[in-house]
Structure 1
């Protein structure tokens, strides 16, 4: 009997089980490979009321079902704690309530120790790999991950958010997107929502209201020239000024240059396999690419003219803010007269959005750093071989990009 008492005491110490709880029994299921430890409380015990913190609430009755929590492995055995919950009648509340327990959070199927372990692993490994490592279904671990990421996000202070950047990242192959709303000053993802366009702006406005932040606090928005973003900002954040991201603008011009190249390559064989030469700036070309560019320049190609027009637009952001409007208008005139249809089309688009482009000279806002964020997200997605749901994907964005300081620890006693 003394040996059993010693074993019970050893388990209580290892599990950090405190009075009035104690270990009543344990069973080693060698067939299925599990150690089951059974807990109970002493007759006449009192508990802390989970609602008001009254420390001497007496046990009233027991919840019928036996509850089970996965714990850290003892030796090579997965370990499970079993207990029935008492309900207490609180004199202060005048209510009958189910008690909280010390070894696990409310509603969880894992102990604090187990959740701490899997969260530390999930910071370094894909969730499905962690699930294999600990012998649990990954859906259960995702629930743990969502809980702590949400806690981390709730702790973020939004009171000083004034300038945001908006961008999209693909969640899966095809046309499934997540829209990111990022604080440009802290480089923190504030919200990631499924879909794209104006609906995302409405979701962001609702999100701010839930956090007690007035939408009128947002003064500057940086985004691409998507009409859905423009109309969404106008409807939900009418006081905000839009700066069109210069990297999206230059990407659009690069695409126009490449369309000119592809069309001309049909009767100019020298243009084949030169795509990346025209996408780069001259100073970024390799020696071989520089020599090829010099050769092609002498051929008086349409692609060469398109390339020079592109380089000229890049110099817009080097201009004095007072001269920039005149420079942009002159560039648009040149591009429209170029007789290169893709360049003419993009020039008309730029002219129609000149106000938002020139806003950069006041706001100095770009989405350039979002490319780094997107690379981080896509690397995480490849590492995990994709995420089965948008919710999983969004939680991983928050945890990865925001570098959340997630701590798994029991709440302090009231």
Structure 2
């Protein structure tokens, strides 16, 4: 009776059935002995019907825990000796993929846990070495990505994110319309866009169909976009433009603090949005604005640049605002802002293109924060391949991953292929 109960609970159908259940409380595990009741089967290699068995091989799989106990499935899996193709082939089992030592539900649990905690922590939770869980993650992420279609990709956001502190970077490519990560590759040079163009074509996309590319002012990215996405309009992202203004402001502050020691400790007040100032920072900024320091003037110029993005809604609205700002920056007698004015003048067309609706990297920056949070949970990744797999799992919106285990009724897979 109990065997029938677990046969149904595991979602098995004839001729598969649970023959025996062994519970070992001291060992903290429960073992299900599963048997195949037939003597013939379709050849898995060529499809020939009613082929006799050659032999049976013992196999075991880790399953979801039974209460607090580890659960394992064991079966002597038949191998078919086919008279048609002459091959001896093991028949597939309905609860696990070929070559795996976990059931599909256990692997689905791994994929559900990995984006919310480190793989090391997930391994401790399910009592499996992390390296084995990484193999599961990389297999399913790779398989799911292979089935993704990028035929509708028209607007692309490009950015870089750190893989290891000060050592290695990834270039990430984001579908701005679908708001998902579609490609990640090591490096941050021109060749990254070549690899992206190749990957886009493999997944049914067309590089020549991409209409907009949003990115920073990296010369490598610009050269790669011009070569591999010649039809695309280049949009320089607002986040990076304002970041250049903040960098120029900090250069002015660091130069002036040598002669004005009262500027020490003002860096974060200067860089933060005024709406986020604390009371001490508010007092500091009130003092600074009443002073005649270069840093105060630099802060006003930087804030004026930020205000352009807060008020302009189109390239036509932004153009006169930028022209006035550039005139001010050129005449401000602050070398960092004079250099910035020259840079922005050179890239003004791409900057104005960035004011088109939705053609900016705001979502990309949010994605990068999610990736860095995953990296922080893991305290870094030893292999860049692990970080890339986790990036797809966190931000790729993959639609062909196994269904989460608690959303399934039966063990037999329905949406895993």
Q: When the two structures are superposed, what TM-score results if normalisation uses the length of structure 1?
A: 0.85
Post-superposition offset of 1:101: 1.3
Post-superposition offset of 1:208: 0.9
Partner of 2:345: 351
Post-superposition offset of 1:302: 1.4
Post-superposition offset of 1:173: 1.6
Q: Deviations over 1:211-256 (max 9, x none)?
A: 1211111110000001111111111111111100111011111111
Partner of 1:59: 52
Partner of 2:383: 389
Post-superposition offset of 1:382: 2.1
Deviates most, 293-302 or 15-24 = 15-24
Question: Does residue 99 of the first structure (1) align with residue 94 of the second (2)?
Answer: no
Structure 2 Cα separation of the partners of residues 40 and 290 of structure 1: 73
Give the match's secondary structure for 1:80: strand
Q: Deviations over 1:1-42 (max 9, x none)?
A: xxxxx6765664554444434566777778866555555544
CA RMSD of aligned residues (A): 3.2
Partner of 1:3: none
Question: Does residue 141 of the first structure (1) align with residue 133 of the second (2)?
Answer: yes
Post-superposition offset of 1:379: 2.1
Query: Quick check: 2:181–2:395 contact (8 Å CA) kept in 1?
Result: yes
1:392/1:265 Cα in 2 relative to 1: closer, same or farther (>3 Å)? same
1:271/1:359 Cα in 2 relative to 1: closer, same or farther (>3 Å)? same
Partner of 2:408: none
Post-superposition offset of 1:204: 1.1
Structure 2 Cα separation of the partners of residues 77 and 285 of structure 1: 52
1:220/1:47 Cα in 2 relative to 1: closer, same or farther (>3 Å)? same
Picking from 362, 366, 388, the partner of 1:372 is 366
Post-superposition offset of 1:276: 2.5
Give the match's secondary structure for 2:367: helix
Post-superposition offset of 1:398: 2.2
Partner of 2:107: 115
Partner of 2:172: 180
Structure 1 Cα separation of the partners of residues 196 and 332 of structure 2: 42
Partner of 1:252: 244
Describe how 1:304-383 pairs up with structure 2 within 5 A.
Answer: 304-317=296-309, 318-319=311-312, 321-322=315-316, 324-362=318-356, 364-383=358-377
Structure 2 Cα separation of the partners of residues 179 and 251 of structure 1: 19
The count of aligned residue pairs is: 406
Query: Quick check: 1:57–1:88 contact (8 Å CA) kept in 2?
Result: no
Partner of 1:190: 182
Structure 2 Cα separation of the partners of residues 270 and 382 of structure 1: 35
Q: Considering only CA atoms, is the larger Rg found in Structure 1 or Structure 2?
A: 1
Query: Quick check: 2:155–2:212 contact (8 Å CA) kept in 1?
Result: yes
Post-superposition offset of 1:112: 2.7
1:252/1:32 Cα in 2 relative to 1: closer, same or farther (>3 Å)? same
Picking from 67, 79, 89, the partner of 1:87 is 79
Query: Quick check: 1:189–1:401 contact (8 Å CA) kept in 2?
Result: yes
Question: Does residue 239 of the first structure (1) align with residue 231 of the second (2)?
Answer: yes
Structure 1 Cα separation of the partners of residues 201 and 183 of structure 2: 13
Partner of 2:162: 170
Partner of 1:398: 392
Post-superposition offset of 1:357: 0.8
1:281/1:87 Cα in 2 relative to 1: closer, same or farther (>3 Å)? closer
The higher relative CO (CA closer than 8 Å, separation ≥ 6) is in 2
